[in-house]
Chain A
Amino acid sequence: MGLDRRAFIGLVAGGAVGTLFTPIPWKITDDLSIWTQNWHWIPRVPRGEVTYATTATKLCPSGAGLKVALAGGKPVTAYGNPEHPLSQGGVSPIGASEVYMLYSPSRVRTPMRKAGGKFEPITWEQAQADLTAKCKAAGNKVACISGDAGGTSGEVFSAFLSKIGSSAMYAMPGEAGPAAAGFKLMGGQGVVGFDIDNADCVLILGGDIFEGSGVSVRNRKAFCASRSQGGAVKARFAYAGPVRNHTGAVCDAWIPVASCQLGALALGVAWHLLKAGAAANAADMADFKKLVEAGYSPDKVFKLTGVPAEALAKVAASLAGAKAPLVIPGSEMGQGMGPGAFIAGMSLNLLLGRMNKPGGVMALPEMPAVFPGAETPSEILARDLAGFLKNVGEGKTPAPEVLLVHAANPAYGLPESAAMAKALEKIPFKVGFASFMDETAAMCDLILPGSLTLERYDDVVTPYGSAFCSYTLVKPLLAPIYDTKTPADFILDTAKKMNLALGHDSLEKALKEKAAVLAKAEGFMAGQVMPWEVLAGKDKPAFDAAGMWKALEAGQAWVKTGQVAQTGLSFAAKVLAALKPAKPELCLAGRAPQRVGTPATGIPAQCTTAIPASDFKDGDVYVSMNAATAKQYGLSEGSRVTLAGAGATCSARTHLSENVMTGVVAVPLGFGHTAFDAFSKGKGDNFLSIMSASPEAGTDMTVWTGSEVKIA
């Protein structure tokens, strides 16, 4: 053998040392780090120029303008539009998810018809033929539930119903409905909005205005502007409600009170204001004074709410001593408040003389309609959907023959959901203009999938709570990904084919007309000057009517400050005198953070991480109560608990939180989905199902805030 062991080792060692002097080992290490990580199943980033385009969110009720980033012409992510008055760069978790929601696995991709209990795909022509036939047969027994009553799309549905002789157009519950109904009962004219920017002392009665209620992004920006970081505080905020929620967290004071007693609290504050001599120029001023003095004295209010007289006196003194006080009535979960409670809160604004004053309540004009026959949003919003459906379910009201559901999920998003589902089942033909396969769509006989925000034309009109009128254009940034249509366009086409032409060929044309009408309405494009500055006294900037549509397309909002003069505003003393605030032993408080989306969106894909372990952990949903309440019911951190209400039960685990008042169980809404996709489905229970919906004494409108609950 020529090669002995020593020589062999020498060769190998020499070779090894030699390769170190070559690029081979370094090239191999470099290649290793690349080839062990460029797995083909990991998606790559897109190529292409990054550009930005504007639109506005239709999925988030805050109405924020969006600035969408596009890569190679395709939308990739959404931010707030810094130039838009309802955004100023900010946007909620829902608005931020608009691009991701385009691709939700639960998107409906084609029109579908229910056959034999299952859905079968059909063409749009077949779908239209089905709908036309059913509508013709139903005559005027057609109803509509809309989640978007305020915009021009809502007008289309309303005009369609009016044309076929039906007035059964309903809006999903929110804060706007009770406000519209309540303000009407007060003899108010216009739509209420709240000028937080120019207020210096704000009492928030329930509403989660810094989270999901009303123009929540605008509200937060106004709050931030009132107190520069580390600097002087220009406005003080107090939050009254059952839970120190996201809004309560940043307010200067928390007045713990159950949500069914917020009206009583307001009248308790009124008692102190009246004692100090406050009065309003209202026809029933004397009646109001009488009912407050008789029924809402400090110890009566203390007995009912547990709020001591000194606390109420302090609140009244702060409001009375402020230059621009403001009281904002609402519900902690954005729904379920009664008009009576709204009126009680508004009575404080009347006593303080805050109507149509900077920093006060602004009564805004309704926007002009471009579809003749459409009802105003206020008329639609003031209708009691929960009450109507409950009556249908109990056989007290005949069920409509056809139900159109637009941008709404009533099978999930209403209280006493079991009763509501029973009612919906009584309606023989249900049509869902659903974008996602949600709980309601799953019940429908015909699904006409709607294009999402970034895929269609639409508009955002003065969202509830705004102190100024606004009009924002929504424009498509990409062609519909699936075989979907803009619901309003489909209705316009269907109406035309039924010889019931509604007035415009397409939504886009209607929007252009709307802009042309608004151009004559003495507003301006928000940008250099913002509407709250004009409310504070700044000059209105010049307005170029001819350039309005172009400005709208560029993402700017048309705004109008200016209020409707009130000629017959009263306290609706008769209504207030009839109020009977409840005093349940244990009641519910709903928490509706935006991270769980809305009933119509489900939990957006990128929002699941924002849900803390104190709400949802290891597959269990947690309800919160403080240690005193827990002790009363033998519960501790992590205990399983079954909550019973409205003839239904929900199970959860217990989380102890001292930010919940005694006698209240705070329940997180947005869980318990049985539809949508894996991001939403199968997580806990829907706590709306145990909230009892009952008529409010004095108004007969259905309310469900602070409903009683039992621990089974």
Chain B
Amino acid sequence: MSAAHIEFKTKWGLVVDIDKCTGCGACMVACQTENNVSPMEDASNKLRTLTWMLVYELKNGKPFPEAEVAYLPRPCMQCGNPSCVPVCPVVATDKNEDGGIVSQIYPRCIGCRYCMAACPYHARYFGWFDPVWPEGMEKAITPFASTRPRGVVEKCSFCHHRWNQAKDAARVAGKDPDNLPDGAYVPACVEICPTGAMAFGDLNNPKHKVYELSKSPYAFRLLERLGTDPQVYYMTKRDWVRRQGDNYLPNEKA
């Protein structure tokens, strides 16, 4: 049974140009520092690390010298038809009119991890341990995202707090907070990308870059055929990258 597919007036979306991503990981660091993900001394066990934004390495599977490599940054897809929302027993996560961002309310979450099992993108992370900031480092905690105790699930929120800040700034300037110009609200990862490989905006607003980019013939979404309707689009001119966006059969066209 799928969640009701509601269309929102504002639909925040991300477009990542895989052909530009160098895999540096600045987006991961920006996300962690912005959203108060505690630093992890030993981050080598990837089943225990909290990486709301995670950069994947893609290979074309060919031997040297035909080998190619690409990098794919993966935030939460903020699905239009999310798998995680209907399974939450306490409605700690919801897809409502708030710009189409799938919310995550930490105090409500009971840590059952049903949403993690449901998410096909592995975009949700469970706090197995209490977050630890070495003495003094807690001064680097930003006011933008609450700190989470162990036992709750967390995920990318498209830096929802920045949307609130942008709306406030618009109100102060006497402009319409519900009609933000392109670039007034961008998540930390998009802002910091040293290459400028990501674009962010309202997928429904023709004045925003992402409106056209998401309709590009080079654009695709991950696991589209599951029907999740993700709001994160990827662009590539390389067919072998595009083919890794879903489970295609060898003779199927991507």
Interface size on B, residues (CB 8 A): 83
Q: How far in angstroms is the closest Cβ of chain A from B59?
A: 7
Say whether B149 contacts A249, CB under 8 Å: no
Among candidates A99, A256, A594, residue contacting B140 with C-beta atoms closer than 8 Å: A99
Contact segment of B22-30, B114-122, B200-208: B22-30
B17 at the interface (CB under 8 A from A): yes
Say whether B191 contacts A80, CB under 8 Å: yes
Say whether A678 contacts B29, CB under 8 Å: no
Q: How far is the CA of A618 from the CA of B47 in the complex (A)?
A: 11
Nearest chain A residue, comparing its CB with the CB of B51 = A609
Q: How far is the CA of A576 from the CA of B199 in the complex (A)?
A: 46
Q: How far in angstroms is the closest Cβ of chain A from B120?
A: 21
Residue of B20, B34, B133 with most chain A CB atoms under a 10 A cut-off: B20
Contact segment of B68-76, B173-181, B246-254: B68-76
Among candidates A43, A102, A627, residue contacting B141 with C-beta atoms closer than 8 Å: A43
Say whether B15 contacts A229, CB under 8 Å: yes
The contact string, 1 if C-beta is below 8 Å from chain B, for chain A 64-97, is: 1000010100111111100000001111110011
Residue of A224, A606, A626 with most chain B CB atoms under a 10 A cut-off: A606
Q: How far in angstroms is the closest Cβ of chain B from A152?
A: 26
Q: How far in angstroms is the closest Cβ of chain A from B183?
A: 9
Say whether B69 contacts A659, CB under 8 Å: yes
Say whether A221 contacts B134, CB under 8 Å: no
Say whether A230 contacts B22, CB under 8 Å: no
Contact segment of A210-218, A314-322, A372-380, A483-491: A210-218
With a CB–CB cut-off of 8 A, which chain A residues contact B218? 230
Q: How far in angstroms is the closest Cβ of chain A from B51?
A: 5
Say whether B55 contacts A608, CB under 8 Å: no
The contact string, 1 if C-beta is below 8 Å from chain B, for chain A 190-212, is: 00000000000000000000110
Q: How far in angstroms is the closest Cβ of chain A from B210?
A: 10
With a CB–CB cut-off of 8 A, which chain B residues contact A100? 33, 39, 137, 140
Nearest chain A residue, comparing its CB with the CB of B198 = A229
With a CB–CB cut-off of 8 A, which chain B residues contact A97? 29, 33
Residue of B17, B21, B64, B68 with most chain A CB atoms under a 10 A cut-off: B64
Say whether A77 contacts B196, CB under 8 Å: no
Q: How far in angstroms is the closest Cβ of chain B from A479?
A: 13
With a CB–CB cut-off of 8 A, which chain B residues contact A634? none
Among candidates B45, B141, B165, B188, residue contacting A45 with C-beta atoms closer than 8 Å: B141
Q: How far is the CA of A276 from the CA of B82 in the complex (A)?
A: 61
Say whether A79 contacts B136, CB under 8 Å: no
Say whether A679 contacts B39, CB under 8 Å: yes
Say whether A93 contacts B24, CB under 8 Å: yes
Nearest chain B residue, comparing its CB with the CB of A77 = B33
A115 at the interface (CB under 8 A from B): no
Contact segment of A46-54, A323-331, A546-554, A692-700: A46-54
Q: How far is the CA of A642 from the CA of B45 in the complex (A)?
A: 23
Nearest chain B residue, comparing its CB with the CB of A218 = B194
A250 at the interface (CB under 8 A from B): yes
Q: How far is the CA of A90 from the CA of B30 in the complex (A)?
A: 10
B170 at the interface (CB under 8 A from A): no
Say whether B43 contacts A103, CB under 8 Å: no
The contact string, 1 if C-beta is below 8 Å from chain A, for chain B 1-29, is: 00000000000000101011111111011
With a CB–CB cut-off of 8 A, which chain A residues contact B194? 62, 64, 80, 90-92, 216-217, 220-221
Residue of B15, B32, B216 with most chain A CB atoms under a 10 A cut-off: B32
Nearest chain B residue, comparing its CB with the CB of A658 = B67
Among candidates A79, A254, A616, residue contacting B188 with C-beta atoms closer than 8 Å: A79
Say whether A210 contacts B141, CB under 8 Å: no
Say whether B29 contacts A96, CB under 8 Å: yes
Among candidates B55, B131, B199, residue contacting A42 with C-beta atoms closer than 8 Å: B131
Interface size on A, residues (CB 8 A): 89
Nearest chain A residue, comparing its CB with the CB of B209 = A229
With a CB–CB cut-off of 8 A, which chain B residues contact A679? 39, 41
With a CB–CB cut-off of 8 A, which chain B residues contact A609? 28, 32, 40, 43, 49-51
Q: How far is the CA of A614 from the CA of B71 in the complex (A)?
A: 14
Among candidates A47, A249, A256, residue contacting B143 with C-beta atoms closer than 8 Å: A47
A408 at the interface (CB under 8 A from B): no
Contact segment of A33-41, A172-180, A464-472, A510-518: A33-41
With a CB–CB cut-off of 8 A, which chain B residues contact A256? 64-65
Q: How far is the CA of A118 from the CA of B38 in the complex (A)?
A: 32
B36 at the interface (CB under 8 A from A): yes
Q: How far is the CA of A220 from the CA of B219 in the complex (A)?
A: 22
Nearest chain B residue, comparing its CB with the CB of A38 = B149
The contact string, 1 if C-beta is below 8 Å from chain A, for chain B 139-161, is: 11111111111011000000000
With a CB–CB cut-off of 8 A, which chain A residues contact B45? 618
With a CB–CB cut-off of 8 A, which chain B residues contact A611? 43-44
Q: How far in angstroms is the closest Cβ of chain A from B216?
A: 4
- Whether A247 touches B22, Cβ cut-off 8 Å, given contacts A99-B140, A224-B197, is yes
B213 at the interface (CB under 8 A from A): yes
B195 at the interface (CB under 8 A from A): yes
Q: How far in angstroms is the closest Cβ of chain A from B221?
A: 15
With a CB–CB cut-off of 8 A, which chain A residues contact B152? 37
Among candidates A102, A607, A610, residue contacting B55 with C-beta atoms closer than 8 Å: A610
Nearest chain B residue, comparing its CB with the CB of A682 = B42
A223 at the interface (CB under 8 A from B): yes
Say whether B192 contacts A96, CB under 8 Å: yes
Say whether A45 contacts B36, CB under 8 Å: yes
Q: How far in angstroms is the closest Cβ of chain B from A311?
A: 10
Q: How far in angstroms is the closest Cβ of chain B from A358?
A: 22
Say whether A45 contacts B55, CB under 8 Å: no
Say whether B63 contacts A221, CB under 8 Å: no
Say whether A610 contacts B28, CB under 8 Å: yes
A595 at the interface (CB under 8 A from B): yes
B171 at the interface (CB under 8 A from A): no
Q: How far is the CA of A220 from the CA of B27 in the complex (A)?
A: 14
Sample (6) of A-B pairs whose CB atoms are under 8 Å apart: A50-B165, A90-B193, A103-B139, A211-B22, A221-B196, A229-B235
Given contacts A90-B193, A100-B140, A609-B43, 10 further A-B contacts (CB under 8 A): A33-B107, A43-B147, A47-B143, A62-B194, A71-B143, A89-B191, A89-B196, A90-B196, A92-B26, A606-B32
Please list the 9 inter-chain residue pairs (A to B) with the smallest Cβ-Cβ separation, ordered nearest first: A610-B25, A658-B67, A90-B194, A605-B39, A608-B43, A103-B137, A220-B195, A43-B138, A103-B136
